[in-house]
Structure 1
Amino acid sequence: MSDPSTASMVSTRELDRPDAAGQADPGPPAGAQPPEKPRSLLGDAWHDLRRNPLFWVSATLIVLFVVMAAFPSLFTSGDPINGALSRSRVGPSADGWFGYDLQGRDVFARTIYGARASIVVALLATIGTLLFGGALGIVTGYRGGWLDSVLSRISDVFFGMPFMLGALVILTTFNGADRDNSEYKIITMVTVTLVALSWPVVMRLMRSSVLAAKEADYVLAARALGASTSRIVLKHLLPNCLAPLLIYSTIMVGSFIGAEATLSFLGIGLKQPVVSWGISIGESERYVQVSPHMVLFPCAFLVTAVISFVMLGEAIREALDPKLR
């Protein structure tokens, strides 16, 4: 019969051998990287966006337009408002890269400065639409009942109204009768009009997202633990319902830039002394055959800006939608 102490020493020596079957796990080798932590939805989206050339092209163009709108003097030293009739409809040259318009104003300067009003109106209208429509969507989706029915029917009325017809009625009634042509007043009126005609789409998007999320397990658990309505909405529902609005908001900025240009072209949107792409196109469309440069360059900047925001929205949609990865 063997000594217990001897058997213990033998088993210890066996465990210390490199080829012992019972050798303990030595762990990861020195210098090895720890396992990567799982990424969140936004982390996965950013990881996919960085590999998408469409995102970088659109983001670069958008940054360029934003800088152009914020600091136009970095791109041109010309006067976008005053001109000389002696240069009326002069074509592009070394002195004026984009030529001159009917009143002898520098088309390049007007195109650069025109980005400010167009982008400001689009951004303000997008923010206002998201706040107003998103708030109504949360209320109708979470509360339901008669409040949901009433607000949904009101949104149906606005949703069924043709956009251009509604804009014509609102701007002709209020903006046309008002003789105050200050830049702030004009921009505010156009922004309010865009918000008033666009909020039903955002409300429906937010409402559908809230209806799908409010029955989720984490919301039911928070409600069972006694969480207040505001905490459930702000901490649980809102973060999980923002993805559709984030996608739509980028596309909406581009749509509002085009809508502002259309209204200004028709003479019911932005007006003098505001400088915008729509105003430049509207003032020059009669001379497109004899002086195409007056219309070509503002149109090119307008189309590029709209396409940039639409491409960014498409890239974000592909990154946030798992079915498209």
Structure 2
Amino acid sequence: MTDPGSVGGGPALEDMASHEATDLAAVDDSAQRQRKPRSLWGDAWVQLRRKPMFYISGVIIVVIVLMALFPSIFTSRPADFNNLDLQSQPPSADAWFGYSFQGYDIWARAMHGARASLLVGLLATILTVLIGSLMGIIAGFYGKLTDTFISRFGDIFAGLPFVLGAIVILTTLNPPGTSPSETTIVVQVVLSIAVLSWPVSMRIMRSATIVAKQLDYVKAARALGASTPRIIFRHMFPNTVAPVLVYATIALGAFIGVEATLAYLGIGVRPPVVSWGVMINDAKDYVQTSPHELLFPAGLVTITVLAFVMLGDAVRDALDPKSR
């Protein structure tokens, strides 16, 4: 009887088996990589990419940022372009948003005004989150008298009506007859918003810190002799900042609306600075005769606020596994 290996079948079968084993090992390795657990931020990014709301709000925000950084992309006219012969003209091919009572091109001013509105909202959000997060993580980590003092101190500011508090702060800093510079009034508006808003982020960070300091990784860091600043900023802060970021995203849109409100009341950003709030303030006396002067800047504020609220909702859902 002839041995099967003597006719060459043995080596061929061995090669086939070797290739199959290699393929199976590669598939198994790929499956293991796919099953590898993702971090919180990696998982959140995967969840965000599945949400249409994230893309819609993202596109709107990108356009607004481009308007603020590069207004020349959207208009060739400067913000102070005006022609009194065209005052209060309705929207047309020459001026998509029409002209104001002072003869300004509303479209051009709206493109240039995005910068001041977005800048105030962004700076106020950063300052609010920094102050609130620092106070909240200190209160939550140390507890006891420190927590009581910071919490009650925050309640004082949280109890102030926002608009009334801003009016008091800004009118005190700028009594009648004074004319602060452009930079000064922007800084004052940002500070007034942050002073009245930080207790919200403080409470969010405090709650997250109280939960986090009971977890094993914090206890392990203490057992290994890590210093308090290292425990707070190296270990706890990265794991407690997620809910504050959600609040910051929503607050950014809200603060843009606050800037418009303060400018409408005549105590916020004012000319020669161009912002959507300043445009709304300029148009308030001509609503009946030229409604387009108010509707377009007010519409941009509304769309911007909604975009950031939508983005905040999408980020919140992505970072919260319980909501899936």
In structure 2, do the counterparts of structure 1 residues 238 and 300 end up closer, same or farther at CA, with 3 Å as the change threshold? Answer: same
Task: Report what 1:209 is aligned to.
Answer: 208
285-294 or 206-215, which deviates more: 285-294
Would you say 1:276 and 2:271 are equivalent positions? Answer: no
Name the aligned partner's letter for residue 222 of structure 1: A
CA contact (8 A) 1:79 1:106 kept: no
Note the residue ranges of structure 1 that are not aligned, 5 or more in a row.
1-17, 19-24
In structure 2, distance between residues paired with 1:147 and 1:178? 43
What do residues 233-254 of structure 1 show as CA deviations (whole Å, max 9, x unaligned)?
Answer: 1221101101100110000001
**Cα shift at 1:96:** 1.2
Aligned with 1:200: secondary structure?
Answer: helix
In structure 1, distance between residues paired with 2:311 and 2:172? 36
The ranges of structure 1 where at least 4 consecutive aligned residues each deviate by more than 4 angstroms after the TM superposition are 25-28
- The two structures have a TM-score, normalised by structure 1, of 0.89
In structure 2, distance between residues paired with 1:307 and 1:95? 29
**Cα shift at 1:87:** 1.2
CA contact (8 A) 1:175 1:189 kept: no
31-40 or 59-68, which deviates more: 31-40
What do residues 18-66 of structure 1 show as CA deviations (whole Å, max 9, x unaligned)?
Answer: 9xxxxxx947526533421211111111001001000001011111101
In structure 2, do the counterparts of structure 1 residues 285 and 29 end up closer, same or farther at CA, with 3 Å as the change threshold? Answer: same
In structure 2, distance between residues paired with 1:65 and 1:308? 10
248-257 or 141-150, which deviates more: 141-150
Task: Report what 2:3 is aligned to.
Answer: none
What do residues 136-191 of structure 1 show as CA deviations (whole Å, max 9, x unaligned)?
Answer: 11111111222222111111110111101101100111134573432211110100
In structure 2, distance between residues paired with 1:30 and 1:321? 36
In structure 2, distance between residues paired with 1:176 and 1:311? 39
Task: Report what 1:324 is aligned to.
Answer: 323
Alignment length, in residue pairs? 303
**Cα shift at 1:74:** 1.3
Q: In the TM superposition, what are the counterparts of 1:300-315 in structure 2 within 5 Å?
A: 300-315=299-314
Task: Report what 2:24 is aligned to.
Answer: 29
**Cα shift at 1:102:** 0.8
Name the aligned partner's letter for residue 120 of structure 1: L
Task: Report what 2:7 is aligned to.
Answer: none
**Cα shift at 1:297:** 0.9
Note the residue ranges of structure 2 that are not aligned, 5 or more in a row.
1-12, 14-19
Name the aligned partner's letter for residue 181 of structure 1: P
Which one has the largest radius of gyration?
1
In structure 2, do the counterparts of structure 1 residues 205 and 53 end up closer, same or farther at CA, with 3 Å as the change threshold? Answer: same
CA contact (8 A) 1:176 1:268 kept: no
Aligned with 1:29: secondary structure?
Answer: helix
Name the aligned partner's letter for residue 70 of structure 1: L
Name the aligned partner's letter for residue 202 of structure 2: M
In structure 2, distance between residues paired with 1:44 and 1:322? 9
Name the aligned partner's letter for residue 301 of structure 1: L
In structure 2, do the counterparts of structure 1 residues 288 and 217 end up closer, same or farther at CA, with 3 Å as the change threshold? Answer: same
CA contact (8 A) 1:318 1:324 kept: yes
Name the aligned partner's letter for residue 232 of structure 1: I
Would you say 1:125 and 2:130 are equivalent positions? Answer: no
What do residues 193-231 of structure 1 show as CA deviations (whole Å, max 9, x unaligned)?
Answer: 000000011111111111111011110111011111111
- The two structures have a TM-score, normalised by structure 2, of 0.90
Task: Report what 1:86 is aligned to.
Answer: 85
Q: In the TM superposition, what are the counterparts of 1:51-90 in structure 2 within 5 Å?
A: 51-90=50-89
In structure 2, distance between residues paired with 1:178 and 1:216? 57
Task: Report what 2:94 is aligned to.
Answer: 95
Task: Report what 1:149 is aligned to.
Answer: 148
Q: Whose helix proportion is higher, 1 or 2?
A: 2
In structure 2, distance between residues paired with 1:252 and 1:180? 29
Task: Report what 1:298 is aligned to.
Answer: 297
